[in-house]
Amino acid sequence: MNKWIAVDWGTSSFRAYLIKNNIVSERIETKDGMKFINNNSFEKTFISLIENWLDDYQTIEVLASGMVGARQGWSEAPYQETPCDLNNIKFISPLINDNRIALKIFSGISQIDQPDVMRGEETQVAGFFLENPNFQGSICLPGTHSKWIKVKDQNIVKFQTFMTGELFEVISQNTVLKHSVKSNKTDQEELLKSVDLIFKHPSLFGNALFKLRADDLINSRNKIIYKSRLSGYLLGLELLGSIDYWKKSKIALIGNKELNKLYSYVLKDRVSSIVFYEAEDMTLKGLKYFKEKIK
Amino acid sequence: MNKWIAVDWGTSSFRAYLIKNNIVSERIETKDGMKFINNNSFEKTFISLIENWLDDYQTIEVLASGMVGARQGWSEAPYQETPCDLNNIKFISPLINDNRIALKIFSGISQIDQPDVMRGEETQVAGFFLENPNFQGSICLPGTHSKWIKVKDQNIVKFQTFMTGELFEVISQNTVLKHSVKSNKTDQEELLKSVDLIFKHPSLFGNALFKLRADDLINSRNKIIYKSRLSGYLLGLELLGSIDYWKKSKIALIGNKELNKLYSYVLKDRVSSIVFYEAEDMTLKGLKYFKEKIK
């Protein structure tokens, strides 16, 4: 029986999959993100999380990607530079004390001329290639650090990261706007209007933010309105900045359901085609893709 | 002897001045900002802070401005709308229990068509008018919420607020950039280059931010460089958004020394003239100005 473990160990969460004959037989998800782990306890933490899957008489292969390979991670897997062929992705095998596992951590990708980095997203792109080997266009991975990636022939040609999600988080939690944007819903009309406003006047971003607060003090509208405006301003700024990636292009979105919906709603009339995939699914498929390639 | 108390009670600090015959005889500055005071203890807190200045047999006039007049403040002094003549500024006199003081809290100013608000800045503008009664042009008050204000004939005609300082704070303290921008110094050349970059490509703001982090991971430059870039991107975005206020205009800057220096360095070759004043000094002079007007 072919048996291995796929691991997506990121900054704030841990996911592992026990795979038997190409099918996920068990899955673990915990909040043990890299940022909560002490420098010397990665191996110990990892073993304790997946102990049940280990066999004293057989070494199991563990394939991991994400921040686990960062300098502050378990062991540094140096960046590979763009343009980067995902069929030749590199990995490191750090020395470990437990001989029940054989660990491979895949590299992230860096870009030198326009400085940028990714760790984990390349795995999702590889997962997408597993199902779309001939795709040529741009892939967007919306999130904390939204990434726009130009791909061709299973290569990552170039990419561009925007701090959209992280800006949304700190602005809505740590600034004077926090009282005005407390809503989990989005008003799509307000969202589109706000995207359009920033498309026309990107330099009014900092003023548009304060106007949310002033409008609330003066007019006290429903908080859905203000939250939708904030989303729209941030999304608008990202889309205007990434226009070379999506204008009249074929687009693939890889994100969670909510972000895929938001982005496709705003992009649908501006791109030549759009498909979307779920991020976790792509990570798992990407590790399978890498496993095939390094055989 | 003419004796009164001037008060600048803001969100995060408290300042009071005992003024005798038009001269500051004593000054108190504490961290008792509005946000730390319980709803019902404004009077008690205030009295305890300035108790030494009170006389059991004489009522002293107290003139206050700033967030003390906000809805969440001591007592709400409703906004006056733009255009607003600072010679006719309104005030409220909330009922208080201690007859040793007679309190007047001055209004803030709101703008309806392009929603915006100020509380405290109008006092600094009034202080500037005390020395420059015929000034016609724009006044910039750089800070947490930078304000650009068009003035004419001692009127506030219109204004525009940018969240520049607050964005700098949350980005440099709460995002992935926090490790890269830890520096108190500014490299002026790097600052100017970053302002120019955002002037040309304002929509790349979110990407420019992430590039700071990526550049640090790849090139590990001195943190002064990254901090100067972050300042430059934020300042550039504000200046591009406020261009109608300063382009070929007469400008007055009212801020702290550091911000006045930063802003005048970037603006000096782009405006027709520039003068600067210290913010605390203008607040005090503004309260004197209002005191004259309400006689």
CATH number at residue A215: 3.30.420.310
Asked if residue B124 belongs to a domain, the reply is no
User: What does the longest C-alpha to C-alpha distance in chain B come to?
Assistant: 71
Contact B214 A242 (CB under 8 A): no
Share of chain B above pLDDT 70, in %: 100
The answer to whether residues A197 and A103 belong to one domain is no
CA distance linking residue B235 with residue B195, whole number of Å: 7
Asked if residue B220 belongs to a domain, the reply is yes
Question: Where residue A34 falls among pLDDT bands split at 50, 70, 90?
Answer: confident
pLDDT at residue B12 tops 90: no
Interface of B with A in 91-130 (CB under 8 A): 110-112, 114-117
Asked if residue A60 belongs to a domain, the reply is yes
Contact B145 A210 (CB under 8 A): yes
pLDDT in tens, A42-84: 999 999 999 999 999 999 999 999 999 999 899 999 999 999 9
Of residues B111, B207, B238, nearest to A160 (C-beta):
B207
DSSP E strands in B153-247: the ranges are: 155-162
The answer to whether residues B210 and B259 belong to one domain is yes
The answer to whether residues B108 and B138 belong to one domain is no
Structure tokens at B111: 């703008």
Give the CATH number of the domain where residue A60 resides. Answer: 3.30.420.300
pLDDT at residue A5 tops 90: yes
Asked if residue A22 belongs to a domain, the reply is yes
The answer to whether residues B111 and B154 belong to one domain is no
pLDDT at residue B43 tops 90: yes
Domain that holds residue A252: 133-286
Asked if residue A292 belongs to a domain, the reply is no
Interface-testing mutation among B158, B166, B226, with chain A (most A C-beta atoms within 10 A): B166
CA distance linking residue B238 with residue B236, whole number of Å: 5
Question: Where residue A15 falls among pLDDT bands split at 50, 70, 90?
Answer: very high
The answer to whether residues B150 and B14 belong to one domain is no
What's the ipTM? 0.91
The answer to whether residues A197 and A115 belong to one domain is no
Which of A96, A119, A142 finishes a domain?
A: A119
Nearest CA to CA, how far is A73 from chain B (Å)?
Answer: 14
The answer to whether residues B114 and B147 belong to one domain is no
The answer to whether residues A176 and A222 belong to one domain is yes
Q: How much is the pLDDT for A39?
A: 79
The structure tokens 């007592």 sit at B75
pLDDT in tens, B149-175: 999 999 999 999 999 999 999 999 999
The structure tokens 């290569």 sit at A155
Contact B214 A164 (CB under 8 A): no
Question: Where residue A1 falls among pLDDT bands split at 50, 70, 90?
Answer: confident
Structure tokens at A163: 């701090």
The answer to whether residues A175 and A257 belong to one domain is yes
The answer to whether residues A150 and A270 belong to one domain is yes
Q: How many domains is chain B partitioned into structurally?
A: 2
Which of A119, A151, A179 finishes a domain?
A: A119
Asked if residue B194 belongs to a domain, the reply is yes
Q: Give the number of beta-carbon pairs within 8 Å between A and B.
A: 132
Neighbours of A278 (CB within 10 A): 16
Asked if residue B228 belongs to a domain, the reply is yes
Asked if residue B295 belongs to a domain, the reply is no
Q: How much is the pLDDT for B38?
A: 86
Tell me the average pLDDT of chain B: 95
Say whether B200 sits in a helix, a strand or coil: helix
Helix (H) / strand (E) element for A226: namely helix A223-241
The answer to whether residues A195 and A105 belong to one domain is no
The structure tokens 């859905």 sit at A224
Which residues of chain B neighbour A218 with C-beta distances below 8 Å? 79, 110, 112, 115, 117
Distances in Å between the Cα of A177 and the Cα atoms of A79, A238, B73, B148 are 38, 20, 18, 20
The answer to whether residues A16 and A85 belong to one domain is yes
The structure tokens 């085609």 sit at A273
Give the residue from chain A lying closest to B78, CA to CA. Answer: A218
Which of A53, A88, A119 finishes a domain?
A: A119
pLDDT in tens, B183-233: 999 999 999 999 999 999 999 999 999 999 999 999 999 999 999 999 999
